[in-house]
């Protein structure tokens, strides 16, 4: 059996094919095919790669995401999320199974790690928010060791900072990350974030 994992309708849609032994056969982002940066829809040519015998898995529990979008705990996040992401047509999703958002991130790190040993592997997934979790630590069996929920979120801090400096949330967050790596500027930037974002 071959596994097909995909993400769609948020930012950066993509799919990957994984063999039963865990070997990655092929993986791609939708933007490589559509030529549109941060493409959130998988083009037909990518769907045509999926075989009827593939076990298709979605990258998160979409029911929890829908519930979160409709709940009050989205108030902090909603100022950072573009309107197009708030009206996702999740009923259009077709899949055999799903895993949690952070399990998807952790699997990517685990299956692409540059070493062979497994038992000593621990995975940290840090994101804005998955379904509800913002950070999760997994062991090599994808067993959750510890987690933190929104609004405790390093990713949301980056997103809010990105918006505050006039850039596009969920697209230009990497600029903030790169600024914090500038050794002689990082303290000034951290102080500015504390004053403007964390008040």
HSE-CB of 146 using CA atoms within 13 angstroms: 3
Residues 86-129 pLDDT 10s: 445 555 567 899 999 999 999 989 988 999 999 999 999 998 88
Quote the CA–CA distance of 198 and 58 in Å, as a whole number.
34
* pTM, entire model: 0.74
Residues 7-63 pLDDT 10s: 988 778 999 999 998 889 999 999 999 998 888 899 999 999 999 999 999 998 888
């Amino acid at each position: 059996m071959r596994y097909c994992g995909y993400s769609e309708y948020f930012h950066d849609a993509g799919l990957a094919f994984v063999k039963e032994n865990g070997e990655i056969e092929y993986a791609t982002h939708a933007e490589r095919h559509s030529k549109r940066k941060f493409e959130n829809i998988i083009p037909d040519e990518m769907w045509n790669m999926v075989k009827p015998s593939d076990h298709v898995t979605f990258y998160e529990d979409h029911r929890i995401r829908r519930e979160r979008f409709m709940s009050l705990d989205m108030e902090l996040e909603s100022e950072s999320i573009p309107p197009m992401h708030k009206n996702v047509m999740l009923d259009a999703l077709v899949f055999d199974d799903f895993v949690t958002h952070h399990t998807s991130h952790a699997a990517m790190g685990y299956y692409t790690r540059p070493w062979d040993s497994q038992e000593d592997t621990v995975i940290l997934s840090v994101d804005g928010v998955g379904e509800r979790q913002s950070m999760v630590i997994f062991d090599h069996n994808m067993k959750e060791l510890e987690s933190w929920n929104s609004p405790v979120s390093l990713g949301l801090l980056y997103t809010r900072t990105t918006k505050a400096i006039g850039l596009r949330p969920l697209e230009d967050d990497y600029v903030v990350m790169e600024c914090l790596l500038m050794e002689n500027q990082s303290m000034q930037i951290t102080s500015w974030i504390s004053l403007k974002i964390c008040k």
